[in-house]
Chain A
Amino acid sequence: MSSLELVALEKRWPGLTVRVDLEVGDGRLLALAGPSGCGKSTVLRLCSGLTEPDGGRVMVGGNDVTALGPERRGIGMVFQDYALFPHLTARGNVEYGLSTHGVRRRARKAAAMDLLDAVGIAALAGRRPHELSGGERQRVALARTLAIRPAVILFDEPLSSLDATLRTRLRADIRDHQRRFGLTAVYVTHDIGEALAIADETAVMQEGRILQRSTPAELWSRPASAAVARILGSGPALRVTRVEPYDAGALKATTAGGVFLVPRTGAPEGGPLRVFFERNAAALLPQGAPAAPGSFAVRCERNDYLGDAVDCLVESGGERFLLRFPVGTAPPPGWEGRLSVAPGAAFLVPDDEVTAASPRIP
Chain B
Amino acid sequence: MTPTPTRLSLLPALDVPRLAGAILLVLVCIPLVAAFAPLVSGGFTSTMNRALREPRFLSSFGFGLKQALASTALAVVLGLPGAWFLARRDFPGRRVLSALTSVPFCVPPLIVAIGFVLYFGREGALNRALVALFGLSRPPVDFLFSFAGIVLIHGFYNFPLVMRLVGDAWAASPSDMEDAARLLGAGRVRTLFTVTLPSLAPSIGAAASMVFLLCFFSFVIVMIFGGPGVGTPEVELYRAARFDLDRPLASAFALVETVVAMAALAAYAWFERLSGLSRRIMGPPRQRARVRTPAGSVALAAYVLFVVLFLIGPLASILVESFVVHPRGAAAPVAGLGNYLRLAESAGFLRAFANTIVLGLSSAAIAAVMGFVFAAAAGRSSTGLLASILPLLPLAVSGVVLAYGWTTMAGRGTPLSIAGIQAVSAYPFVMRGIQGAVGHADERYIEAARTLGSGSVAAILRVRLPLAAPALFSGFAFAFAISVGDANALVVAPAAGFETLALLLFRSAGSYRFSDACAAAVILAALSGFVFFLKDAGVSTRAKARDVVA
Bound-state CA distance A130–B199 (Å) is 13
Known interface pairs A71-B183, A100-B190, A148-B185. Does A87 touch B283 (Cβ–Cβ under 8 Å)?
A: no
Given A69-B187, A71-B186, A96-B194, check contact A81 B179 (CB 8 Å): no
Interface membership of A101, Cβ < 8 A? yes
**Does B198 lie at the interface of the complex (its beta carbon under 8 Å from any beta carbon of A)?**
yes
Quick one: given A70-B182, A96-B181, are A86 and B281 in contact (CB under 8 Å)? Answer: yes
B213-257 residues with Cβ-Cβ distance < 8 A to A are none
User: Is A87's CB under 8 angstroms from B199's CB?
Assistant: yes
Q: Is the CB of A130 within 8 A of B277?
A: yes
User: Does the CB pair A81–B186 fall under 8 Å?
Assistant: no
Q: Does B58 contact A (CB under 8 A)?
A: no
C-alpha gap A51/B199 in the complex (Å): 23
Interface assignment of B304: CB less than 8 Å from any CB of chain A: no
**Interface residues as binary, A123-146 with B (CB distance below 8 Å gives 1, 0 otherwise):** 000001110000001000000110
Once the chains bind, are A81 and B183 in contact (CB under 8 Å)? no
Give the Cβ gap from A189 to chain B, nearest Cβ, in Å.
16
Q: Given A80-B176, A85-B199, A87-B198, check contact A50 B183 (CB 8 Å).
A: yes
B174 touches A (CB below 8 Å): yes
> Is B184 on the interface with A (CB-CB < 8 A)?
yes
B331 CB to closest chain A CB (Å) equals 61
Give the residues in chain B near A100, CB-CB below 8 Å: 184-186, 190
Q: Which residues of A contact B181 (CB under 8 A)?
A: 85, 96
The one of B176, B185, B278, B280 in contact with A83, judged by C-beta atoms closer than 8 angstroms, is B176
The answer to the question of B411 belonging to the interface, with a C-beta cut-off of 8 Å to chain A, is: no
Report Cα–Cα, A48/B183, bound state, in Å. 7
When the two chains form the complex, which single residue of A45, A69, A87, A97 contacts B184, counting CB atoms closer than 8 Å? Answer: A97
Contacts of A79 in B (CB 8 A): 176, 179-180, 283
Indicate the size class of the contact surface on chain B.
Answer: 20 to 34
> Is there contact, CB below 8 Å, between A130 and B278?
yes
A residues in contact with B282, CB < 8 Å:
81, 86
Name the B residues within 8 Å of A161 (CB-CB). Answer: 283
Q: Answer whether residue B177 sits at the interface, using C-beta atoms and an 8 A cutoff.
A: yes
Q: Which residue of B lies closest to A72 (CB)?
A: B185
User: B283 contacts A71, CB within 8 Å?
Assistant: no
Known A81-B284, A83-B174, A83-B283; contact A69-B180, beta-carbon cutoff 8 A: no
Total of A-B residue pairs, C-beta within 8 Å: 91
- A84 interface contact, C-beta 8 A: yes
Within the complex, the shortest CB–CB distance from B292 to chain A, in Å, comes to 11
Cα distance, A109 to B284, chains bound together (Å): 31
Flag whether A77 is at the interface (Cβ < 8 A). yes
| Residues from chain A with Cβ under 8 Å of B277 in the complex | 86, 128, 130
A contact residues around B198 at 8 Å (CB): 85, 87
Q: Could you tell me the distance between the alpha carbons of A77 and B185 in the complex, rounded to whole angstroms? A: 12
A86 touches B182 (CB 8 A): no
Q: Tell me whether A129 and B281 are in contact (CB under 8 A).
A: yes
Is there an interface contact between A81 and B283, defined as CB atoms closer than 8 Å?
yes
CB 8 Å contact bits of B177-210 with A (1 = contact, 0 = none): 1011111111100100011001101000000000
Cβ of A39 under 8 Å from chain B: no
Contacts of A128 in B (CB 8 A): 277
State how many angstroms separate the Cβ of B507 from the closest Cβ of chain A.
50
Chain A residues near B201 (CB, 8 Å)? 87
Q: Which residues of B contact A101 (CB under 8 A)?
A: 185
Do residues B182 and A71 form an inter-chain contact, with CB atoms below 8 A? yes
| A121–chain B nearest beta-carbon distance, Å | 15
Nearest-Cβ distance from residue A71 to partner chain B, whole angstroms? 5
Shortest CB–CB separation between residue A343 and chain B, in angstroms? 50
A83 to B278, CA, bound (A): 11
**Which residues of chain A from 50 to 72 have a CB within 8 Å of any chain B CB?**
50, 69-72
Report B-chain residues with C-beta under 8 Å of the C-beta of A69.
Answer: 182, 187
**A147 CA to B177 CA, complexed, in Å:** 17
Name the distance in Å between B514's Cβ and chain A's nearest Cβ.
Answer: 48
Closest beta carbon of chain B to A175's beta carbon, Å: 21
Q: Is A282 an interface residue, CB under 8 A from the partner?
A: no
Cross-chain contact B179 with A70 (CB below 8 angstroms):
yes
Task: Tell me the A residues contacting B by CB distance below 8 Å.
Answer: 45, 48-50, 69-72, 75-77, 79-87, 96-97, 100-101, 128-130, 137, 144-145, 147-148, 161
**A-B contacts, 6 listed (Cβ < 8 Å):** A81-B174, A82-B283, A87-B199, A100-B185, A128-B277, A130-B281
Can you list the 10 inter-chain pairs with the closest CB atoms, starting with the nearest? A81-B283, A86-B278, A97-B184, A100-B185, A83-B176, A83-B180, A70-B182, A87-B198, A129-B281, A130-B277
